Amino acid sequence: MRKLFPLALLAALIVWACGGNKSNEAESTPPVVYSGNTAIRVTHKVNDYPAWLKSYLAKSDSNARISLYVSPDDPNLVTVFMLTVSHEDAKKMAASEDLKKAMQEGGVSSEPEFAYMDIKFRNMDKSPKQYRILVSHEVADFDSWKKVFDGDESRRTEAGLELRAISTNADNPKMVNIMFATDDPEKTKAMMGSDELKAKMKEGGVTSEPTVMVLMVPPAM
């Protein structure tokens, strides 16, 4: 299970390491059972997105894929979300020398950023919206924050936001990540800076300045 495909890229290899190998030798092995509530987010640059995508789709396990995005400012800056068997398995693979070598061979051109997440909510329906807004911040208590967050849904609807996912960081359960779909990221940024939302976040027990990442659904290829 530790033998790597020579041209496999970062995201594909992590999934493969959790059991997604599609070689003939693996056809007789039991299918991988992903936890359904643990996931990994990987962000890195690639030399050529179409070449990377081809390899990713060929090598990775389709049952593990959650979503794939690029930066609106750089189509070669890729962010991949995938289900994992466990955080332990994913972390071991991410730290392996074999993976580092395969990344270099596969065209990954920057140091990858990993985040290990516990999924609290996931919208399984497809969204036609082109952009994703990932907001991350710490909270004093998740349940208390969630109650306030749920009560503020009308504001998000008016802003054209569609809730896609909520997760907490495995290494820091107080760090909450909220993913929204939108067609107007600038409108979302303006809302994030409003005094009204800041007051609502304070009410919910947000204890850190939120970080905002804008992602884009890549065009079909």
14 and 112 housed in the same domain: yes
Domain end among 67, 94, 119: 119
Which pLDDT does position 5 carry in this prediction?
A: 31
Last residue of one domain, picked from the residues 91, 119, 147: 119
* Percent of the chain whose predicted confidence (pLDDT) is above 70: 86
Q: What would the pLDDT profile of 13-62 be if each residue is shown by its tens digit?
A: 444 444 444 445 445 567 889 999 999 999 999 999 998 898 888 778 89
- Domain-embedded: residue 4: no
Task: Supply the pTM of this predicted model.
Answer: 0.84
Banded pLDDT at 187 (limits 50, 70, 90): confident
Q: Are residues 102 and 137 in the same domain?
A: no
Q: Which residue has the higher pLDDT, 53 or 138?
A: 138
Tell whether 106 and 130 lie within a shared domain: no
Domain membership of residue 115 as a residue range: 10-119
| 65/141 same-domain check | no
Give the total number of structural domains in the chain.
2
87 & 149 share domain: no
49 vs 93: CA distance, rounded Å: 23
pLDDT tens digits, one per residue of 110-125: 999 999 999 999 999 9
For the segment 180-195, the average pLDDT, to the nearest whole number, is 89
